[in-house]
A and B are shown apart, each in its own frame.
Chain A
Amino acid sequence: MAPLPLALPFAALEVGQHLYWQLGNYKIHGQVFLSSWVVIGALLAVVVVGTRRLERDPRGVQNLLEFLWDYLRDIAREYIGEKAYRDWLPFIGTLFLFIFVSNWGGALIPWKLVHLPSGELGAPTADINTTIALALLVSLAYFYAGLSRKGFRYFEYYVEPTPIMLPFKIVEDFTKPLSLSFRLFGNILADELVVAVLAFLVPLVVPLPVMFLGLFTSAIQALIFATLAAYYIGEAVHEEHH
Chain B
Amino acid sequence: MTSWLLLAEAGATAGSPEGGLFDLDATLPLMALQVVLLTFILNSLFFRPVGKAVEDREGYIATSRTQAKEKIAQTVRLEADLKEQLKGARLEAQKVILEAEQDSDRLYREAMAVAQADAIASRESARSKIDGQRADALSLLEADADRLADLIVDRLLPAS
List residues of chain B with CB within 8 A of the CB of A36: 31, 34
Closest 9 CB pairs of A and B: A16-B11, A13-B4, A26-B26, A129-B27, A90-B43, A133-B32, A133-B31, A94-B39, A16-B20
Binding site for B on A (CB under 8 A): 1, 3-4, 6-7, 9, 11-18, 20, 23, 26-29, 32-33, 36, 40, 43-44, 47-48, 50-51, 54-56, 58, 62, 65-66, 69-70, 73, 89-91, 93-95, 97-98, 124, 127-130, 132-134, 136-137, 189, 196-197, 200
Interface size on B, residues (CB 8 A): 48
Determine whether B51 belongs to the interface, using a CB cutoff of 8 Å to chain A.
Answer: yes
Write the B1-19 contact mask toward A (1 if CB under 8 angstroms, else 0): 1111111101110001011
Task: Report yes or no: A98 in contact with B53, Cβ–Cβ below 8 A.
Answer: no
List residues of chain A with CB within 8 A of the CB of B11: 14-17
Told that A129-B27, A133-B35 touch, could you supply 6 new A-B pairs with CB distance under 8 A? A13-B7, A15-B21, A33-B31, A43-B38, A54-B50, A69-B46
Task: Report yes or no: B42 in contact with A97, Cβ–Cβ below 8 A.
Answer: yes
List residues of chain A with CB within 8 A of the CB of B30: 23, 28, 33
Q: Which of B54-62, B90-98, B119-127, B146-154 faces chain A? A: B54-62
List residues of chain A with CB within 8 A of the CB of B52: 54
Task: Report yes or no: A18 in contact with B19, Cβ–Cβ below 8 A.
Answer: yes
Q: Who on chain A is nearest to B28 by CB?
A: A129
Residue in B7, B26, B27, B36 whose CB lies within 8 Å of A14: B7
Q: DSSP class of B's interface residues: helix, strand, loop or mixed?
A: helix
B61 → chain A closest CB, angstroms: 10
Determine whether B114 belongs to the interface, using a CB cutoff of 8 Å to chain A.
Answer: no
Determine whether B132 belongs to the interface, using a CB cutoff of 8 Å to chain A.
Answer: no
Q: Who on chain B is nearest to A27 by CB?
A: B25
A165 → chain B closest CB, angstroms: 30
Q: DSSP class of A's interface residues: helix, strand, loop or mixed?
A: helix
Q: Who on chain A is nearest to B40 by CB?
A: A90
Determine whether B49 belongs to the interface, using a CB cutoff of 8 Å to chain A.
Answer: yes
List residues of chain A with CB within 8 A of the CB of B36: 137
Q: Complex formed: what's the CA distance from A69 to B30 in Å?
A: 27
Q: Contacts A94-B35, A133-B28: A128 and B21 contacting too (C-beta < 8 A)? A: yes
